């Protein structure tokens, strides 16, 4: 199958990846109500078609945090992408750089910040608040030394959400022998992945935290270390520590409430990402797109507002821009494209988003992405009216 859409990349990833890794990418927390809501609420918003306007000149670029993006899209941090394709974070970073958009590296990426920066495009860097502040200080110093221009500070993960799919697949909650047998079975039934990733994609560690983890039998040992070190006592006051160490822009990722967005402004954040962690944390909460307008209205004049969650097309990107986002970050779409087609897959997925956004802008009469506003939407046919 030749992929024509994000949904096609999901299917290709499902075919190529071992079951445990596809389910890890694809799943959400608990009954996955929020995961479904993220997508459904975006689909339910109607664009307002306009005609007979001179659309011969389009500008998809946006400027944010001192950078100009070729289109208002970025690759969100995705954990363990190096298990979806050989040295996957580096491959995705190269595709993003070629498309002129930012790549955000997860703390729990297989590739380290140094390896990704060596591609020639230092990534935006994502970090959690961890109990070991000394480790955090060292990791932030590494990111700055590597030239990372922006810190994405994840604030919606003081503890991991319960993801039933990971238990059912055997990714979590299984013993070493059971996990080894499941991995062997997956490897035999997915030979292309086995050759690309299992054989040639080593080391299978999390490069940013490897030095701090003593037990390193499986990649899940690293995730367990991270989970044990999430700091449940964190408050906005702790951002002072991050600001003391990190001298560049800080964007708070995982804000879903307007009051929290105002607190982010007061804490000195340069931006927020309106997000529910892709439906992977607290199930049953609002979709990202439904929370976006309230947050944009509350703080959009003070800091940059981004969004992630449920974006599956360039049309979705335009809807988010119209509701107040400066740009959208996509997670699953690039992970699926990486799993289904490597660097070339990510490049093609980004080209598809750009093409879809171009068509949507022309047919709504929006010549400049920076000017997108609510006049592009038909709110009489919208759950947001």
User: Residue 255: CB partners within 8 Å, gap ≥ 6?
Assistant: 155, 156, 261, 264, 272, 273, 274, 275, 295
Taking 3-state DSSP, the helix, strand and coil percentages for the chain, each rounded to the nearest 5, stand at 50, 10, 40
Is 190 one of the annotated active-site residues of the chain?
no
How does residue 382 score in pLDDT terms, banded at 50, 70 and 90?
low
Q: What confidence score (pLDDT) does residue 353 get? A: 98
How does residue 216 score in pLDDT terms, banded at 50, 70 and 90?
low
- Of the two residues 256 and 179, the one the predictor is more confident about is 256
pLDDT digits (tens, 9 = 90+) for 142-179: 999 999 999 999 999 888 889 999 999 888 876 666 66
Q: What confidence score (pLDDT) does residue 185 get? A: 78
Q: What confidence score (pLDDT) does residue 130 get? A: 84
The reported pTM is 0.95
- Of the two residues 57 and 169, the one the predictor is more confident about is 57
Segment 360-385 shows an average pLDDT of: 89
Domain boundaries, the chain: 6-371
pLDDT above 70 for 318: yes
| Number of C-beta neighbours around residue 189 at 10 A | 11
How does residue 71 score in pLDDT terms, banded at 50, 70 and 90?
very high
pLDDT above 60 for 385: no
How does residue 301 score in pLDDT terms, banded at 50, 70 and 90?
very high
pLDDT digits (tens, 9 = 90+) for 78-129: 999 999 999 999 999 999 999 999 999 999 999 999 999 999 999 999 998 8
Q: What confidence score (pLDDT) does residue 66 get? A: 95
Q: Which two tokens stand for residue 304?
A: 């940059």
Specify the DSSP class assigned to residue 159.
S
Q: What confidence score (pLDDT) does residue 158 get? A: 87
**Mean pLDDT for the chain?**
93
Q: What confidence score (pLDDT) does residue 45 get? A: 97
Segment 207-220 shows an average pLDDT of: 74
Q: What confidence score (pLDDT) does residue 212 get? A: 77
Catalytic residue among 19, 190, 277, 381: 277
How does residue 230 score in pLDDT terms, banded at 50, 70 and 90?
confident
CATH of domain 6-371: 3.20.20.70
**Do 270 and 304 meet the contact criterion of CB atoms below 8 Å apart?**
yes
User: Residue 78: CB partners within 8 Å, gap ≥ 6?
Assistant: 25, 106, 109, 331, 332, 334, 335
Report d(CA 63, CA 86) in Å as an integer: 32
Q: What confidence score (pLDDT) does residue 175 get? A: 67
Q: What confidence score (pLDDT) does residue 176 get? A: 64
Segment 228-236 shows an average pLDDT of: 86
DSSP symbols for 293-348: HHHHHHHTTTSEEEEESS--SHHHHHHHHHTT-SEEEESHHHHHHHHHHHHHHHHH
Q: What confidence score (pLDDT) does residue 246 get? A: 96
pLDDT digits (tens, 9 = 90+) for 7-55: 999 999 999 999 999 999 999 999 999 999 999 999 999 999 999 999 9
């Amino acid at each position: 199958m030749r992929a024509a859409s994000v949904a096609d990349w999901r299917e290709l990833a499902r075919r190529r990846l071992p079951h445990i890794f596809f389910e890890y990418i694809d799943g959400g927390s608990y009954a996955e109500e929020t995961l479904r809501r993220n997508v459904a609420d975006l689909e339910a918003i109607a664009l307002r078609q306009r005609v007979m306007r001179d659309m011969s000149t389009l500008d998809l670029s946006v400027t944010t945090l001192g950078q100009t993006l070729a289109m208002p899209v970025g690759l969100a941090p995705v954990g363990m992408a190096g298990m979806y394709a050989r040295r996957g974070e580096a491959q995705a970073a190269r595709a993003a750089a070629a498309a002129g958009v930012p790549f955000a590296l997860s703390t729990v990426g297989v590739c380290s910040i140094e390896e990704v920066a060596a591609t020639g495009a230092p990534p935006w860097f994502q970090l959690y608040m961890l109990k070991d502040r000394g480790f955090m200080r060292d990791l932030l110093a590494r990111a700055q030394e590597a030239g990372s221009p922006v810190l994405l500070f994840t604030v919606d993960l003081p503890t991991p959400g319960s993801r039933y799919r990971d238990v059912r697949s055997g990714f979590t909650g299984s013993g070493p022998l059971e996990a080894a047998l499941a991995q062997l079975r997956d490897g035999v039934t997915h030979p292309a992945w086995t050759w690309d990733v299992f054989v040639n994609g080593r080391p299978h560690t999390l490069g940013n935290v490897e030095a701090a983890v003593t037990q390193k039998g499986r990649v899940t040992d690293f995730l367990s270390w991270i989970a044990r070190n999430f700091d449940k006592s964190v408050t906005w006051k702790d951002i002072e520590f991050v600001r003391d160490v990190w001298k560049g822009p800080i964007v708070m990722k995982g804000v879903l409430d307007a009051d929290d967005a105002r607190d982010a402004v007061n804490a000195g954040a340069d931006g927020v990402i309106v997000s529910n962690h892709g439906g992977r944390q607290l199930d049953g909460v609002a979709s990202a797109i439904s929370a976006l307008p309230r947050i944009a209205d509350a703080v959009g004049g003070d800091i940059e507002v981004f969004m992630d969650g449920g974006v599956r097309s360039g049309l979705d990107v335009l809807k988010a821009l119209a509701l107040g986002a400066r740009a959208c970050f996509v997670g699953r779409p690039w992970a699926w494209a990486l799993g289904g087609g490597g660097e070339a897959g990510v490049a093609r997925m980004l080209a598809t988003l750009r093409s879809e956004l171009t068509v949507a802008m022309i047919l709504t009469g929006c010549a400049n992405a920076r000017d997108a506003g609510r006049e592009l939407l038909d709110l009489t046919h919208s759950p947001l009216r």
